Every structure is written in structure tokens, then in C-alpha cells.
Structure 1
Amino acid sequence: MKYIRRSTDRGVVDFGWLQSKHSFSFGNYYDPKHMGISALRVINDDMVMPGQGFGTHGHRDMEIISYVTEGALKHEDSEGNKHIVPAGDVQRMSAGSGVMHSEYNASTTEPVKFFQIWIQPNKMGVKPGYEQKAIPQNGPLTPLVTPTGENGTLAMNQNARMSRLVLSEAEGFTLASNENIAYLHIVKGALEVNGDTFAEGDAFAIDPAQALNIQATADLEALWFELPAMQ
């Protein structure tokens, strides 16, 4: 394995209204050993309290993906998009030449949990864009975001892919990186690979042209990123 990131070693933020675990350096958390993998710059495991959220703020030249696991997000942006993003939906916003947006918990009674993911684009200054979709699982590994939006996926401005891996307990699967660097982040459940056990919040990267045989040791959901070998 190229890189292992344990859940317990992540940066922890608690602002009361926001509780977050940062896989990579972000905001007030900085560790030069954990700056991202290839074009993948941010994976924040966020929980936002009822009625709270991120007020209007700006971004540019970043592909920002939200993957909601519990509750719902309320999104508004300067391009006129106003949406509710429920659990199970995937949201992709291309900040491009510049966009202002806000993300709030859509509920006043229940927290929302979601992954905030940033991927550095390969095209700068593009027109901002927004997509949101519920993509049903189709086999163990289902693409969610791809460079071209193929086969009903969302599209992003980078030669990268984000897929959802779902396995039942004791089910095996071979992860292959092909010509890419690849990174697996466990959303829930656990797996075993090469005698090592990885559980919720754990992650690892593998080199190009590497294959790993994994086995779920509990019902598993994970995000699988295929990333440019050079960035």
C-alpha cells in the first residue's frame, strides 16, 4: 500500500454547530504529511447540527462533491441553484471562475452527516456548474462521478473517478488501480486486506497497476477514488 490513513489520526474540529474529521490538512488543521492524494485535496467527515450550516462564502477552481449519509443539506448558490440534498444523493459543484454558496442543515431537529470532498480540476476558470443525483447501486462498485458524466454519473473537470463500493459481510472483491493512483475511504463497516483490518473512517491508497484482494468483515460501504498518477 502506498499510504494508510487511520480514522483516529485524522484532524478533529468541534465548533459546536459543526463536528468534523479531516483526512487531509484543511482550515485550522495542518499536517504537512497529509496534504492530499494526487488531485484529491479534501475529505471532511462533517456533522452539522439542526438549523446550522456554512454561511455564504466563495470558491473558485475546485470540484466540490458532497455525499450525504444522514439527514439532508440545503444548498443555495450565486448561479441560482436552490436544492435540498437528501441522504443517498451525490452533489457536485464546479466552482470554476468563481461561485458564492451556502450549505445548511435542512432540518431544525436532526443533524446532517455528509462527506465534503474537494478535487482539484484540470481546467481553470470554467463556468460554474451544479449537478445532483441519486445513483442506485449496480453491483459491488458503482461509479458516481466521472470525467464525462458517462452512464448516468455526475461529471467533473478532472481525469478522476469517484465510485461507491458496497459489500456484504464476508464478500470479497479485487480493487485494481489500473494506470491511476487509487484511494479507498471507508464510510461504514470494515474490511481485511493482506492481514490488516480497516474500519469506519480508515483509508488507504494504492499505486498504479496494483491490485488488492479485500474481504468485508462487516457490511461495507466505501468511496473509491481513481486519481491522476501525476498532478
Structure 2
Amino acid sequence: MTTYDVRRAADRFHTEAGWLDSRHSFSFSRHYDPANTHHGLLLVSNDDIVAPGTGFDTHPHRDMEIVTWVLSGSLVHQDSEGHNGVIHPGLAQRMSAGSGILHSEKNDVRASATPEPVRFVQMWVLPDETGITPGYEQRDVSADLTPGALVPVASGNPAHDSAIRIHQKDATLHAARLAPGDTVTLPTAPYLHLFIAQGSATLEGAGPLAEGDAVRLTTPDTPHLTATTPTELLLWEMHTTLP
């Protein structure tokens, strides 16, 4: 039987630091709730807005698959393995922290004559294996984002050959851009995490969802979701959970 755990945007943990406005779907940093640490394999889903000319200074990560999806503006990535890149809407990015990596993420003020905040969602899942060699991949998937359809953009499933690779065979991140009235069917998996990044929609079994709302589904029966305004959503499909 499907269970729907709806988490409203306003109920998320909130970090406000002047240069950063961040909303956390799960326990993160100083915000800790032992009853809200993960869903399936997903441990972090942060909705971040970073002011122009600022960002996250160099900091470490280890044994985590980190996927970043930009909604507006652009973000500059640099890391201790020599990788660098500029992430913008429609470009999926993955960093495998593995045995240890240092990186920074800054608002790309060079991208516009009138610098604007950058808004992005950063998501962390546990890898299949610890201690791997750190890695990085980014790919522009704009051309693959078929209007009105769920599209795999980051996956450990080799069948998803157009998605960036993550080192977690039981997890896939889908994205969708929907016009009002577009309907998609959610995939079959023991655990799904749906996040309404922009817009609004109605999910069968859960009701209306607004921007920033999330739904944690367990053993879903492929419910349908219908956009009520222009909508961008992120959906994690997971076939196992943390012990």
C-alpha cells in the first residue's frame, strides 16, 4: 500500500546567512532531527539561493555522491582534483567525493552584465562503495528534457545512457518540465522522493503541491502527477534504503 508523506515548503529547516538563503528537506548542519535524516538513499536535498559575488568557500566531502541542479543563474565549481565548471539550468552535475575531496561553489557573476542570485538544488546520496577515487562529471541535458516527460538526468542504472553517472546502482534522479495540464506517471520503486522545484501540481493520492513542497512515497502504485502551472520537478527513484 502506498504511503504519502507530504512535507510543505514552509516546514523545512532554514539557514539564512545574508549571502545564503537555504531550505533543507532533511537534517543538515546545525539542524538535526533524528526522525528526519533520509528517505531511501537520499540524505540531503537543499534548496539554496546564493547572492552575487558570494558562495561556499573550499570545504571537504567524503564518500558521497553529490548532484547539483541549477534552477536560475549559474554556479562555478572548483575542486582539489583539478575539475572546474560552470553549471547553469539544464546542465546536470555530479561530484563523487570518494576517498576525500575539497571543493568550492560560487555564484558566477561573470555570466551576466547584471549579476543575479543563483538558485540550485543540491542532493546527496550514499555511494555503492566507499573510498573510491574522487570524480566529477557535468553534462548539458537540455536537449534531452522532452517537454511533459520525466527524464533521467543522473543515474547509476547503465540503461540510462544519456544521464550523468552516479556510483549508486539503486538510485536515479529524474527531472521534468511541465506545462499546465501535462501529466506524468511516477515510476515503480520502493522509495520515491518528489520535489516541486518550481510551479505547482496535483499528485494523485496526495493532493495539491506548491513550489518547495516535497512528497516521500513508499511502495507507490505509479500515481499520476498533473501540473497546474508551468512546473519543474525533481524525482529520486530508489530501489533500496539505508540500513
* Cα offsets for 1:72-109 (capped at 9, x unmatched): 11111111012111222111000001001111111173
Q: Does the aligned pair in 2 maintain the 1:62–1:95 contact within 8 Å?
A: yes
Q: Does the aligned pair in 1 maintain the 2:174–2:234 contact within 8 Å?
A: yes
Alignment-derived partner of residue 29 in structure 1: 31
Alignment-derived partner of residue 157 in structure 1: 167
Q: Higher mean Cα deviation, 10-19 or 144-153?
A: 144-153
Task: Determine which of 230, 235, 241 is the counterpart of 1:219.
Answer: 230
Q: Does the aligned pair in 2 maintain the 1:208–1:229 contact within 8 Å?
A: no
**Alpha carbons of 1:184 and 1:74: their partners in 2 closer, same or farther (altered >3 Å)?**
same
Alignment-derived partner of residue 128 in structure 2: 122
Which is richer in strand? 1
- Code of the aligned partner of 2:165: A
Alignment-derived partner of residue 175 in structure 1: 186
**Alpha carbons of 1:28 and 1:195: their partners in 2 closer, same or farther (altered >3 Å)?**
closer
- Code of the aligned partner of 1:113: R
- Code of the aligned partner of 2:122: Q
- CA offset at residue 179 of structure 1? 3.6
Structure 2 residue 66 is matched with structure 1 residue 64: yes
- The 1-side partners of 2:106 and 2:128 are apart by 29
Q: TM-score, normalised by structure 2?
A: 0.89
- The 1-side partners of 2:51 and 2:40 are apart by 32
Percentage of identical aligned residues: 38
Alignment-derived partner of residue 219 in structure 2: 208
4+ residue runs over 3 A deviation: none
Q: TM-score, normalised by structure 1?
A: 0.94
Structure 2 residue 138 is matched with structure 1 residue 132: yes
Across the aligned residues of Structure 1 and Structure 2, the Cα RMSD in angstroms comes to 1.6
- CA offset at residue 209 of structure 1? 4.9
Q: Does the aligned pair in 1 maintain the 2:189–2:238 contact within 8 Å?
A: no
- The 2-side partners of 1:162 and 1:18 are apart by 25
Alignment-derived partner of residue 55 in structure 2: 53
Which stretches in structure 2 are left out of the alignment for 5+ residues?
none
